[in-house]
A and B are shown apart, each in its own frame.
Chain A
């Protein structure tokens, strides 16, 4: 049984058809890619899977359960972690607080613990803190732990954001353009990092990318989206040589 199965998902924004008859199956531990020109509906698909939007029709089954209609935090707690194209970090919070807070669904000391500072709360906060430091170390940003997020350089903020997503302990991690705005060196580092966390934690990864090198390097199979519809699906090689894809999206980039 696959980890995530999306069947016939369609979504309209008013009269605008953003996603049409979208199907996806991701197995445990796979890395899959989603490419397509701007406005093709890639991020909308992420928002539909994570429950930010409710699909107009279609089924989304995650880990054996239909998750359509669940609030986003429930879906996240079931094991779908995500990052955002524009990061959406919490600008007044420290790096450590970001990662700690993403453990929210695992906190069970309750309001009594929060109000009164029970021993159980202190124990649990200490555990969460330790795990958070581990994740920050894994992403190579632990030295920033006590800094407010806005004081960090851009690349480090991206890494914190991934650490935050990992803290939700995802079985499936959705990465929305993880290398956006990075220079080629940072991009290569990011690809290595993604490969490393995949190696260590073994979760499935579904990523949106604009940069061909990243998807071609990382993904087992790639879907190409145009005007909300999948126009091609296959291995990186197949996609690279598919004339429909080249016409819709790759165009010059492949020629050069």
Chain B
């Protein structure tokens, strides 16, 4: 069911109506470029004044994950943290975004003449903000990268579960194949290791070969995906779900029994080449390629397989090819994400890629929204950060997150931002050109 619920516009009380409408129209006039600048300003403010401000507000250090970790542990820090959040994030971001709105809007319109340049500028600003934000603590640096990897996993799973409508449970398996393949390659060639011996190539070359190792991991995962893609010709729905689940268990026990990669003890010594720039770049490429694919007519064939396979065949769509492509493509990106994951945490074991992982990724897909690239970005980032933020609650975290999921599923069965096209050029474009007229006048008043 996709009955699009109508946008619920906030209905302010009558007295505040004018100001709220005006504020909203003001915010609506800020292009994405403006928000990126605002975000950068906020992060910069934290970078420059964060620590002294936090100390002055009686906090012991910078609130790492928007203050959740301190507020949930020690409620006495709540006021200080909230003030910090307002002073450091909200005010600088809103001020800069609003103050530069007219300039950034014109600029966004100009940049759009060269889409490539526009993309580069936006990505550079985005990366700068993430880099500064993550740079302030090791914990953020780790969580930030894991969140980006989660986006890749979520998005790739959405290709099968959302766009093609098959319930695939094999993502942890694909991830494991990619993680182990990439790890073995990097350790074998570039690291002094007890099992694999001296590096075969000079370690200095390593970072340049790292992308190749990741791609190799992705390809091995794609090869493994044939084991679920071929049964998908005949089995659908629950039955295919069981096959894909079996795949995950098979891969897991394969690695548990492969002594050369450590068996159940796991495999370590992965070089730390998966820094923030690397992970960010791969995530961007992953999003771009998947978004390109699902918006093409070839990609729409996935939707047709989901909504009516018989009709798809009758309309010349090669459904077998479509299924193979979807599974292999999704597996490839899960494999790449697995490889990155292995090099972020520098340790993997088979237990990492079990049902727990599956539940996480599935939750991200269904929480964020089926058939939606933005949904998957939101789901991956959102659930990773949220689950980290709730860490102080310990066991209760595993009560709150499922309850939240149940709540979302009950109200929006297809997820928060489901069935939405992600038109990048529209996102990067100016705001004013689109709603010329009265709003524009009021925004200038």
Contact = CB atoms under 8 A, between A and B. Distances in A.
Contact of B316 (A73, A109, A128, A150): A73
Nearest to A46: B314
A13 interface: no
B316 A52 contact: no
Given A102-B316, A168-B316, A115 B292 contact: yes
Interface in B275-311: 289, 292-293, 296-301, 303-304, 306-308, 310-311
B310 A88 contact: yes
Given A90-B304, A101-B297, A82 B2 contact: no
B316 A76 contact: yes
Contacts of B311: 84, 88-90
Interface string B405-434: 000000000000001000000000000000
Contacts of B440: none
Nearest to A87: B311
A235 interface: no
A101 B300 contact: yes
21 contacts: A52-B310, A52-B313, A71-B318, A73-B313, A73-B318, A90-B304, A92-B371, A93-B303, A93-B304, A97-B300, A101-B304, A102-B315, A104-B317, A107-B297, A109-B298, A111-B298, A111-B325, A115-B292, A117-B292, A125-B296, A125-B297
B319 interface: yes
Nearest to A167: B315
A219 B119 CA distance: 57
A91 B316 contact: no
Interface residues on A, range: 35 or more
Interface in A77-108: 77, 81-82, 84, 88-93, 97, 100-105, 107
Given A71-B320, A72-B313, 12 more contacts: A72-B314, A77-B316, A90-B307, A90-B311, A93-B300, A93-B307, A97-B303, A103-B297, A104-B315, A115-B289, A164-B315, A165-B315
A81 B312 CA distance: 12
A92 B2 contact: yes
Nearest to B2: A92
A107 B303 contact: no
Given A101-B301, A115-B289, A92 B318 contact: no
A121 B314 contact: no
Nearest to B296: A114
A76 B298 contact: no
A115 B297 contact: no
From DSSP, what is the main secondary structure of chain B's interface residues? Answer: helix
A115 B293 contact: yes
A26 B307 CA distance: 32
Contacts of A82: 314
B419 A76 contact: no
Interface string A38-66: 00000000000010100000000000000
A113 interface: yes
A241 to B, nearest CB: 36
A104 B299 CA distance: 10
A141 B227 CA distance: 43
Nearest to B291: A117
B398 to A, nearest CB: 33
Contacts of B318: 71, 73, 104
Contact of B297 (A76, A100, A148): A100
A91 B293 CA distance: 20
Nearest to A103: B297
B189 to A, nearest CB: 28
Contact of B317 (A73, A93, A125): A73
Interface of B: 2, 4, 289, 292-293, 296-301, 303-304, 306-308, 310-320, 325, 371, 419
A200 interface: no
Interface string A140-160: 000000001010000000000
B190 to A, nearest CB: 29
Interface of A: 50, 52, 71-73, 76-77, 81-82, 84, 88-93, 97, 100-105, 107, 109, 111, 113-117, 121, 125, 128, 148, 150, 164-165, 167-168
Chain A CB within 10 Å — which of B2, B318, B325 has the most? B318
Nearest to B325: A111
> 6 smallest A-B Cβ distances: which pairs?
A90-B307, A105-B316, A88-B311, A72-B313, A102-B315, A114-B296
B389 to A, nearest CB: 33
Given A101-B301, A107-B297, A125-B297, A88 B308 contact: yes
A51 B290 CA distance: 32
Contacts of A116: 289, 292
A104 B306 CA distance: 16
B313 A76 contact: yes
B307 A114 contact: no
A102 B297 CA distance: 9
Given A91-B307, A92-B307, A111-B298, A101 B292 contact: no
Nearest to A105: B316
Contacts of A111: 298, 325
Contacts of A72: 310, 313-314
Given A71-B313, A104-B297, A104-B317, A89 B308 contact: yes
Nearest to A148: B2
A168 to B, nearest CB: 5
Given A107-B298, A128-B297, A114 B292 contact: yes
B253 to A, nearest CB: 33
B307 A104 contact: no
A223 B338 CA distance: 61
B44 to A, nearest CB: 34
Of A50, A84, A104, A121, chain B has the most CB atoms within 10 Å of the CB of A104
A148 B1 CA distance: 12
A148 B419 CA distance: 11
Which of B311, B315, B320, B325 has the most CB atoms of chain A within a 10 A radius of its CB? Answer: B315
Contacts of B312: 73, 90, 101
A109 B297 CA distance: 10
